Structure 1
Amino acid sequence: MTITRLLARPMLASIFVAGGIHALRNTEAHAVKAKPVADRFVPLVQRAAPSAPIPTDAATLVRINAGAQLLAAAALATGRAPRLSAAVLAASLVPTTLAEHAFWEESDPQAKAAQRREFIKNTSVLGGLLLAGVDTEGKPGLAWRARRAAADVRREARQVAKDARREAKLAKAQLT
């Protein structure tokens, strides 16, 4: 087992477990902060996927986000579908960060500095999730396997073409 599986993934996932639980316990407070972000992005998602049942209530969106964070964090911590779970956590972190840590909207210098630190922390966590999302633990990823298969097909095609030319020469020599 690698250090990534033993320590790094559970450590990275722990912030989402704590955040998800906190959001579920304090849904209404989170919903107040999430409303401006939801009001901006829900219409975009509805236009992109018109038939999808996208909730518009900020409290419902907070609960869905918290549930997604809890499930994906558990999956990441236990090594189950680590790339998918890291991607889900990264996708859930962006709206959370925009809603909770909008330092650019703060007027008080101390509050602005505190929100900026949290924003930067979340940006750092996002970087960790991106790394977790591409970590294959030494196993070839899908892109590598696809490139390898394409190279194998090209090599085989060249060999078949070479064999066909040789057979054609032999057949021609036998006819003459």
Structure 2
Amino acid sequence: MDLLRTFARPALAAPFVVDGVDALARPKRHAEKFEKVQPVLEKAGLPPVLHSDAELLTRLTGAVSVLAGLGLATGRAPRSCAAVLAALNIPLALVNHPVWAVKGQDERKQALSELMRSVAVGAGLALSAVDREGRPSLAWQRKNRREQRAALEAAVAQVRSEYEPAPSA
């Protein structure tokens, strides 16, 4: 792992680990945030969630966040962990920064700024999810192998045609 990845992955994962531990230890505060935006989510088509289910959902989200964050930070399945965190980041950003529910222009600007920061973190996670650390994809490797095999077979056929005696009649 190069120097940039050594520092970037833990830095990208740290907020998710810290927030996940907090959600596991104190789910009520996180569930309250969720309950504030729950009516909007229900209008959008999500099924209603009971208060106890909101706390369970908070703990579950916190556990997934901690595990995926630690995996990304330590380099264990970093692409999978980054993909999980990127997917988890979408609902967390909407719940934590509900721009539509904020009153007042200054508060709305602040919420919008925080939402855009969350979107930027999600974009960084998406980039991390497709980072192959300089190695080509399996599809490219397969295609390259076929091309090399075809070129080798063509070269062998050319050499044989030049040096094999013509069949006598």
TM-score normalised by the chain length of structure 1: 0.74
* 8 A contact 1:34–1:99 mirrored in 2: yes
Deviations 1:125-155 (A, max 9, x none): 11221232233333x14x2x42132122133
1:30 maps to amino acid:
H
- For the 8 Å contact 1:90–1:130, the answer to whether it is kept is yes
Provide the identity percentage.
34
Cα distance in 1 for partners of 2:26, 2:113 equals: 22
Note if contact 1:83-1:133 (Cα within 8 Å) is conserved in structure 2: yes
Find the counterpart in structure 2 of residue 120 from structure 1.
116
Equivalent residue of 1:113, what SS? Answer: helix
Q: Which consecutive unaligned segments of at least 5 residues does structure 1 have?
A: 44-55
The residue aligned with 2:61 is: 65
Q: What corresponds to 2:74 in structure 1?
A: 78
- One-letter code aligned to 2:19: G
CA distance in 2, matches of 1:28, 1:57: 11
The whole-number CA distance in structure 2 between the counterparts of 1:137 and 1:41 is: 39
Q: Which residue of 1 aligns with 2:106?
A: 110
- The count of aligned residue pairs is 161
Distance 1:160 1:121, change over 3 A: same
Q: What residue in structure 2 maps to residue 96 of structure 1?
A: 92
Q: 1:158 to 1:30 in 2, by over 3 A?
A: same
Matched with 1:4 is: 4
Contact kept in structure 2, 1:38 and 1:58, CA below 8 Å: no
Q: Is the 8 A contact 1:9 1:77 kept in 2?
A: yes
2:131 to 116, 121, 135: 135
Describe the SS at the equivalent of 2:167.
helix
Deviations 1:49-84 (A, max 9, x none): xxxxxxx93222221111111001111111111111
CA distance in 2, matches of 1:41, 1:16: 27
Separation of aligned partners in 1, 2:102 and 2:59: 26
Q: CA deviation at 1:175?
A: 5.4
After superposition, the CA RMSD in angstroms is 3.0
Q: Distance in 1 between matches of 2:131 and 2:151?
A: 34
The match for 1:48 is none
Cα distance change of structure 1 residues 94 and 42 upon mapping to structure 2, 3 Å threshold: same
TM-score by structure 2 length?
A: 0.76
